[in-house]
Amino acid sequence: MQPEVLIESESCFHCGESTKDVRFTFEDKTFCCEGCQTVYQILHQNDLCTYYSLDRQPGKTIHTGIERKRFEYLKDLDVQHKLIDFKKETTASVSFFIPSIHCTSCVWLLENLHNIDEGILKGTVNFLKRTVTLVFDQSKTDLRSVVELLTTIGYEPDLKLDHLKEKKSGAVDRRLWLKLGVAGFCFGNIMLFSFPEYLKMDQSGSSEMFRYFFGGLNIALALPVLFFSGIDYLKSGWAAVSQKGINLDVPISIGMLALFGRSLFEILSGTGAGYFDSFTGFIFFLLIGKVVQKKTFAQLSFDRDYKSYLPISVIRLKNKDEESIPVNKLEIGDHVLIRNQELVPADAVNMTESIQIDYSFITGESEPVTLSWGEQVFAGGKIIGQTAELIISKKVEHSYLTQLWENESFASKEEKSISSFADRISPFFTYTVIGIALLSLLIWLELSPSRAFNIFTAVLIVACPCALALSTPFTLGSTINILAVNGFYLKNTSVIEKLSAIDTLVFDKTGTITDSNNAEVEFIGESLNRKELEMLSSTFRNSFHPLSQAIHKSLHVNHELKRSYFHEIPGKGVIASFEDDWLYVGSLEFIKEKIPTLEADSISKNTIGSTVHIAFNDEYRGYFRVLQGYRNGLKKLLNNFDQTGKNVHLLSGDNEKEKTTLYQLFPNWDEMRFNQSPIDKLTFVQSFEKSGAKPAMIGDGLNDAGALKASTFGIAVSDNKSSFSPACDAIIDSEALRYLDTFFNFSSSSLKIIKASFVLSLMYNVIGLGFAITGHLSPLVAAILMPLSSVSIMVFTTLSTRIVANKIGLKIWA
């Protein structure tokens, strides 16, 4: 049987994604990623291929390019113990974060691993979180084989140092759902049983029995609502009162108790039907608000530290043998091997002749540093190019990088929370309600003492701030959703108020406002012919240096020439030859070294940006000037902030090279600081706190981690949601950074909406009070007023946030 699926060659045969940019081909079929291709191959191998065909290709091996050594550390029992979630006899369960999960087929394959390795019993994927939970039989396979299998099929688990922490028990928020379910169930049934009362059907007196029957049922149904669904409000209200404070839960608790007590009394004494329908409905709506407010982004992590950045294992050299060991078992004096693009796990001393290290994430320096033998290497640096051999000089937890986390900003676990608007007005609200209730009690004691108690409780019932309590969660819930649609992901709803209070902005430079894909490359010198351009392109393509990559991208040459010689000297340049042509590219010093006759004085040194000089066959031809690219729309963003009277600062770990360009881009910087260490950044931001300003830090790397933490509102810029970003209050998609001012405005607008809906809900309270004080609050009036006010607040807040968002130009639907 031949495959009947005909898919355009532009899309992946496996998952249908566009294959324009990357293309993997396997037997005349194209794939979007290695994963898809491997899946296809494995499907063939294992006869699992119902998607395409049943053709078997015996002899096709899956790609097995992984080094056997890499996962050796997984044999370590201590590591196993910490990675494995639970173990029962020989069955073990383990969860991995796999960044490459991206399509339906990924889920399918990972849940069918048992067909490939019979030791694996079950796989469960969580697509949003990009995790897979695997249950495997330890007598048939082991952790290492499982991880190797995943890696072989293109789904390498993301294993970082923080996975070695002790596991917290998975606190899933299931209880809230259960509470909501119980409240909804009781609400509906009590409404049903109260129906005869609404229609006054029971007045014939024919069956006193029914009244007691329904009353009893209502009490029975209301009890679980009070003691299960609503208990959190009572607890929180009580906690606030016992600390002599008042939060919004205090008036809620008073209302709940008044409703429940009065209803219980009425039914037991036979004087009325009670307000149990209002009571349960009230709790039900409150819980819906809570569900909306609890909205989080499962796929994002907002509280990472260096441990989520450093690798979990490292290759150690021992008696000339390579072995992989967990990073936390590294000892001072160990020799380790770090390959291209791998991270240095701990401070160490270089034992290789010369290496290049990219510190951009750690210090903010945009260009790699070249280190020679015996020099100090800091943890977190990324090795570029040649493999480096290092001797560990400090343990992981004592490295330079980790010092930052010893600062007091990280010590306090409590969030510095600005008390929310709702909590601020609660005391006034509560005292007013109690005042009105007591006043009407006194007045009615004069007029008609028998009704005074009823009026008193009616006031407490009707003043219950249900609508008030709903306006905050619903407004903030829809705000957080709209912001997320636009690429700005908040940690939770409570940070929105902090966001709107921001008056000072502190930007990091490298990676935050610069965009490595946006570098401006210009060639200055004699013009180059086509062949020379092709030679340059092929040379730059193979060099690891970021400048080379930027130049290669700007040349737009597709044709590759065959090199006959290629040698890269880290930090200096490249020598390459193409048949008879010799080519030198690199720093001016490097070119001078190679062509001693060159008159260097003729070349202007006073240029902005970085330069890469080139020479063909001992003839100097000119240089490429690479200016750091800034993010699109940055200029407009900074001007907008300036116009709204916010202070704008820049902190950079880099040197002052770009200062002029930055002033050209935006002349009104309040302050610009260069060569800032992570600790400098932290203290700079802290100094604002003392002067009473509310700074927002916008950064991306670990070097900003301290400043992000110390600021009122920390925003991490990320190119890729699943990649590492330090602890912060919000993560912003780098594409969305240019709309940051709009997001600030929107957050202020949503606070205004909350205030407007407070007014609206207070109006309901006043109307209700009118009924209550005059003694007309029948259960029917309460049962109409309460849901009406709640639902109208929900509708008002949800609609008005969307209207406002639409007005200021934000997307309101995904």
Q: Which positions touch another protein (CB under 8 A)? A: 47-50, 54, 56, 104, 107-108, 111-112, 115, 125-129, 172, 174, 177-178, 181-182, 185, 188-189, 193, 207, 210, 213, 217
| Nearest to another protein of 58, 65 (CB atom) | 58
How far is residue 521 from each of residues 524, 547, 555, 557, 608, measured CA to CA in Å? 10, 9, 9, 14, 12
3-state secondary structure of 363: helix
CB of 123 to another protein, least distance (A): 11
- How far apart are CB 186 and another protein at their closest, in Å? 9
Instruction: Give the three-class secondary structure for 21.
Output: coil
CB of 221 to another protein, least distance (A): 9
- Report in angstroms how near the CB of residue 119 gets to another protein at its nearest: 20
Nearer to another protein, 108 or 582 (CB): 108
Write down the least CB distance from residue 104 to another protein, Å: 5
Query: 54 or 447, CB closer to another protein?
Result: 54
Nearest CB to another protein, comparing residues 181 and 667: 181
CA distance 100 to 366: 27
Specify burial of residue 579 (Cβ count, 10 A radius: 0-12, 13-18, 19+): exposed
Alpha carbons 790 and 783: distance in angstroms, whole number: 11
Least separation in angstroms between CB 411 and another protein? 33
Whole-angstrom distance, CA of residue 196 vs CA of residue 198: 5
Residue number with CB closer to another protein (214 or 474):
214
Q: Residue 690 carries which side chain, given as an amino acid letter?
A: K
Nearest one of 779, 754, 782, 755 to 768, comparing CA atoms: 782
Which two tokens mark 697?
């830090």
Q: Which is nearer to another protein, 126 or 683 (CB)?
A: 126
Are 128 and 68 in contact by the 8 Å Cβ rule? The answer is no
741 Rama class: left (phi>0) / alpha (psi -120 to 50) / beta: alpha
Please say which residue, 213 or 565, places its beta carbon nearer to another protein. Answer: 213
- 106 or 804, CB closer to another protein? 106
Closer by beta carbon to another protein, 25 or else 207? 207
For residues 149 and 117, the answer to whether their CB atoms sit within 8 Å is yes
Minimum distance, C-beta of residue 489 to another protein, in the bound complex (Å): 16
Q: Which is nearer to another protein, 114 or 592 (CB)?
A: 114
**Among 47, 60, 55, 42, residue whose Cα is nearest residue 5:** 55
Task: Say how many C-beta atoms besides its own lie within 10 A of residue 385's C-beta.
Answer: 21
Least distance from C-beta 37 to another protein, angstroms? Answer: 19
Question: 384 — phi, psi (to 5°)?
Answer: -120, 130
Closer to another protein by Cβ: residue 220 or 447: 220
Cross-strand pairs, 630: 514
Q: Which residues contact 692 (CB under 8 A, 6 or more apart)?
A: none
Backbone angles phi, psi at 89, to 5 degrees: 50, -115
Based on CB atoms, which residue is closest to another protein, 181 or 809? 181
What order of strands is seen across the sheet that includes strand 321-326? 321-326, 313-318, 335-338, 388-392, 348-350, 376-377
- The answer to whether 259 and 282 have CB atoms below 8 angstroms apart is yes
Helix axes 466-485, 779-807, angle to 10 degrees: 20
Closest distance between another protein and the C-beta of residue 297, in Å? 12
Sign of the CA dihedral running 171, 173, 178, 179: positive
What is the closest distance, in whole angstroms, from the C-beta atom of residue 217 to another protein in the complex?
8
Work out how close the CB of 107 gets to another protein at its nearest, in angstroms, rounded to a whole number.
5
Nearer to another protein, 224 or 427 (CB): 224
The helix-helix angle for 449-462 and 421-447 (nearest 10°) equals 170
Which lies closer to another protein via its Cβ, residue 35 or residue 255? Answer: 35
Q: For residue 77, what are the contacts with CB-CB under 8 A and spacing of at least 6?
A: none
Nearest distance, CB of residue 124 and another protein, angstroms: 8
Torsion of CA 199, 204, 208, 212, to 10 degrees: 0
Q: At closest approach, how far in Å is the CB of 14 from another protein?
A: 14
Conformational region of residue 22, where left means phi above 0, alpha means psi within -120 to 50, and beta covers everything else: beta
Nearer to another protein, 196 or 272 (CB): 196
CA–CA distance, 611 with 588 (Å, rounded to integer): 8
CB contact at 8 A, 783 and 280: no
Neighbours of 544 (CB within 10 A): 18
How far is 39 from 100, CA to CA, in rounded Å? Answer: 13
Q: What angle do CA 409, 412, 414 make, to 5 degrees?
A: 120
